[in-house]
Structures are given as structure tokens and as C-alpha cells.
Chains A and B, each alone.
Chain A
């Protein structure tokens, strides 16, 4: 029997769209029963949102003051206690899931399949390796619980409209005292979230400065787009780390991705492979980004950005 426990990602008030994508992945398993675990200080709102996702059979709500922050050392023993009777335990392949799920797997003494991009059976999955330059098909033992992280860019979010029951749970787990949350400084804004946005405007080293990088924000606002950055731009201090797109940053799949002044290192390309349409603007006609771009424009970005903005304002 296939029973999937999905660990919900949320900020205490809102369910992260990554969870709805995990549900879609879990639904690809044959005859799966899907249960979402919501660990929070007060999980009322988030549990209701999880219960409304199509494809969810039930929600386990675990309220505990220690769950106010997503500390893997606190959450993992609780999930291990909840995981009894489940054949699969899934989390998103975001920094939240990447931090937490291997700790769960090790406590269960079972393997983890990272970045599931396709389900080929209850124990057969496809996942990218080498920055997406090779795709492995792996099989896991049928007699063992499987922990997996779901590559969220590979899945559409499961829609709302469902009404699964919410049960409260109090897993018996000893919580460690050795880890404390101090603070989080979100570089966020009122722009769309990079991982959920339909449109993304991304900048690279060619922007030349943090000041110039702001040109992208202006263009993105005209498009209603999120802003991303290459590793080079983040390393150079033009953009904060949470904007980084690529192998070690965020893997995204927007409808429209506009890469400006990004040469297109393979580590960056792996983060945008699933974008529907890629636009590249670069002064170097030989830049590798043009090999994957649907629309390419060779030219001076400092002339092209204002021109694009002007055209967008006129429409």
C-alpha cells in the first residue's frame, strides 16, 4: 500500500506553493494515499490551506511552540514519529526540504532520493545529477520507507477546491536543546516570489554594479516579474543571495525567463531548463546562453532595457 507523508513548507501563516507541487508528485505514485503534515506553533491557517489542495486525503496538524521556526533538528524526530506506516516521506527540494529531509532519512535509517523530477513507479524515480547534465533512473528497495525531495520546478501545483479532514497529532519525540533560531533577514519585497513567478527577469555580471542592477527591478515591475541573478552577480554583491538561480541556487520554471547580461554557465542553465520561453540579451554573440534561448538579442543592455521599458509602457 502506498501511503505518502508530505512535510508542508510554510511561514506560519501561508502554505508555500512547493507543498502543492509535492502533492502533484505524490499523486503520480500508483494508488497513493496522500497525507500532509503541518508542523507549526499554531497550524490552523496552514492546515486549512493544505486540506483544500486537490489530491490530499488528510492533514495531520502538529502544534508545538518548538515548531515556530523550521529547525531540522527539532522537526526531524517528530516527522520520524509520524512516518510510521508510511511507504514514502516527501518534502520539497527547497532549502527547507534539503535541510530537513536527509535528517529524517538518517533517523529512519533509509536512503533519500533527492530532486525527484519524474515518478516511474512506487520505487522508481528519475533525478538530475551533474548540474542536470545527466538524468539518473534509480530504484529503491520495495521493503523500505523512501524519503525523497521533490524538484518543484518539475511539477505544477495541485489546485485548490479539495476538503480533506484535518486531524491533530502529537508525535512522541524528544526535542533537542542544542539548536536555537536567532533571526531571519528576508531580502524579500512585494515583487512576486522567484520560485512561483510566471515571469522572471534575471541579471548577470554585465550589469556592472549594484546600482545598475536596479535597472532590472524597474523592468521587472513593468512586467510584473520576479527578479533573479546569476551566481557571478551575487558573488560580486550586485544582488542578494536569495535571488541566485542555478545548480546551487534556485531551480525555476517560469513561463518567461529574460536573462540580461548573463553568459550562461552550465551551472546557471541548470536552474532555468524548465522555463517555457527563454530570452537572452547579451553583448557577446558567442555567449552560451544563446544556445538555449528561444529569443536572442545581441546588444548593449543599457540601451535595450530602457527601450523595452518604453515599449511596455506604451502597450
Chain B
């Protein structure tokens, strides 16, 4: 059966204003709304659309993290994924560990495509997809804004600094999503009920023979320097004069 593996991360919701813990050890996540990383939601939506077009039969969604990740996996099942795999761990997961874990899952599941977000909005690393592609020795198409599948190949348009780049890659491959690839669907209540009956397996890192790396030691977490609020001007003339005075014109 042909399938797509979608990797999702549980992150602090996009709309939450993050606060630094008083001891500087990280940001406050207790009691904070958590969601699927928005880029991963786009990845899932793309996988679902590909399945709905009949190009693959199955969408498998996976996440690495604590038991609470089940909530995000259930949401993914309600969106339309066929089954879910939680790789449960309470420890910190570095991108290299995530990539090794997804590699183990890719070897088990033999997907045509692995799709995931280009970055998670918590640690903003932008690494996991590329690392997975390297370890899997397969092509990568990062920052995808358009994806077409045909004859065992994918033609992918990528959002790059210069504009839009198109590349052609052989499957299986890793795709990371940019914002404009699609707009994810809303979950309907009956789907949430149905999702409760869909399979959600739990594995450990040991089950997949992955030893988590601890290479990146966080020494401190600080708030960023704040910009001071400036002055208000009343019209274009005053703005122009103020810029001239600052030597900016």
C-alpha cells in the first residue's frame, strides 16, 4: 500500500504570547494552549489532498514527545489521517534525534513521501526534514509552495530568497512545507468522534533503536532586548522633518 508519513510537533499555540520562566531555564509551557505546529498542519493537509486525489492510499501521522501529544495526533486523525504513531518520550528531542526517529519509522512504513513543516514555531530550528533526507539518503524539497506527483517523481516549487525555484525529485522523498502550499481544513465534530476509533499506536525510542542525542545544552533562556516606544508625529511633513533631522534622508 502506498502511503505518506506526516510528522507533526506539539508546540505552544501560535497565538500565545510566550513568557520566560523566572529562573531562565526556558519558556512557560504549563497551562498554555498547545497545538499542532502550523507548518505541520499544512503538511498534513497536503498529504490528505494527495490521498483524496487517489495518488496514495494511506496517510500515517506521527509525533515524538510526551503522552499529551496524543491530543494533537487525535486532531490529526480528525482532520483525516488514517492512523497515528506516538513515539513517546519525556526528554528533550533535538532535531538529529527527531530525524533518526523518523528515519526508523520511514524504514518501517516505507512511505512514498514524508511531509513535515519547514520549521517548528517553538525552537525555529528548520533542520529535521533536511536531516531526515540526509540520513535516509533520499531527495529533499524544502519550503514547498506547490507539489505535483507523477510517475514516481515529484515536481516541487520552493519559496527561496530569490523567488520561486522548481526542482524535480525521485520518490521516495522528504518535503518540507511553506505557508502558501495550502490552507488546512477545519475539523468537524463528527470527524472528532470518528477519530477516537482510529488506531493510535505508542512506541518508545528504544523500540526504534534510537538513542537520543544530548548535544545542545541550553545554558540560559533570556527575554529579547526590548525596543523603546518612540514618538508620534502628526502628519507627513512632520515625519519627513523628523527623518531629515535623524540624518536618514
Contacts and interface: CB of A to CB of B under 8 A. Distances in A.
Given A133-B224, A182-B166, A278-B227, A115 B124 contact: yes
A114 B126 contact: yes
A295 B221 contact: no
Interface residues of A, number: 90
Interface stretch (B46-54, B71-79, B107-115, B154-162): B154-162
Interface residues of B, number: 83
A315 to B, nearest CB: 7
Interface in A70-127: 71-73, 76, 94-96, 98-107, 109-115, 124
For the residues of A in contact with B, the DSSP-based class is: mixed
A105 B127 contact: yes
Contact of A137 (B128, B143, B213, B219): B219
A312 interface: yes
Interface in A243-296: 247-248, 250, 255-256, 266, 273, 277-279, 281, 290-296
Contacts of B242: 295
Given A130-B18, A134-B222, A137-B222, A242 B124 contact: no
Given A138-B217, A292-B227, A111 B222 contact: no
B128, B145, B235 — most chain A CB neighbours (10 Å): B235
Contact of A102 (B95, B123, B160): B95
A208 interface: no
A132 B224 contact: yes
Given A99-B142, A144-B215, A297-B235, A137 B220 contact: yes
A242 B143 CA distance: 12
Contacts of B20: 134
B55 interface: no
Interface of B: 12, 17-18, 20, 26-27, 39, 94-96, 99, 118-119, 121-135, 137-140, 142-143, 145, 155, 158-170, 173, 178-180, 213, 215-224, 227, 229-240, 242-244, 246, 248-249
